[in-house]
Structure 1
């Protein structure tokens, strides 16, 4: 029984470690989807070869994160397999074996629900993001010398999928500036690079956008799907950006009064 519980603890720690690595990779500019894929690939040792993988390997901070994931993942997989074997080779009657199998399946279902929960994802992401901001220098290492990016503003890449809200829209029609997001460049699937794209640039499936803005707004945009719900999310994002601008204006006004 202890071996089954130990296995569930190993699985839980694996989920937690990949979640931390995912958020750490987003701090280096990867989109959340890309960061999640790369973190899980490195931890499991799947070794997918993609253009995104090359971006990870060629980036010093991302490379260190992935190397640590590979090391921990190898140890975790060995521990999980060993614990699983011990859990089922122990002597016992049929009822004991059934209980162990039931406990294992039930525990995995609970952990699956934990890993899939959007509420848990948001709650855990806020905690991990806050700890990374407080105890690491990922932002400074990657960006300060180039763009002096600080706080919640980041430079990130977003890849457009067929079902995304941005697919098939002109930049000017997307009104991303109203959400506080600036499109700095577009990279087409054929390798064409469009720097400082104009409003008439058509955004297509497979395009990779280089964006600058609040990381929370960029992550929400990355999750947004086409359709009525996506249009409503856009309106909500515009409203939130207006509140952000108002808060920044108030802070600027108060700091100006103190300076006088």
Structure 2
């Protein structure tokens, strides 16, 4: 009997996981990321990964995550209690079966294409009505299409852009699918006359546009940045263990 109860409760937990995987996916999160983050939230393990920013930076996902955290804590308490009490007499099996049936019914309804389409519209409508643009994660603001690309390009002394302007290096930039959002120079952010601003060693260029265009025209500078960052990381590890 005890094993049967645990089996039913495991089915409930699995159904809740799948329900929230669907809900997270309807907010625009990828399926594989949704499932991992749902399980992480329920169990309290692994949620500190970089992908958790996709949950924390999204207002609707944060609300969904709140329930999962509470449900995970409650589920652990129920499982521990059921094992320690060895299924006491006051725990009625018909109640747990009723709950399991309800959860599975909700999951079945959410799998319907028409319901998913309705919820997706509802989520996006709520985002447009109640959420300020500044509250949204970068992915939801800039990276809305497959070819969109956002690059933080670090400039070094051997970069092709060092001590030059964008206009000097890429004369036809006005016809290309990319823009320079701003140049970061220490604590200063340069937003005016960007394309005629001489770029210094140590500057950071924030570029947005078509990925193929950015990777084609800034390929050498990107390779130099990756090589320098790799060397800096290696030097840091060497100092740490020396």
Q: Which has the larger radius of gyration?
A: 2
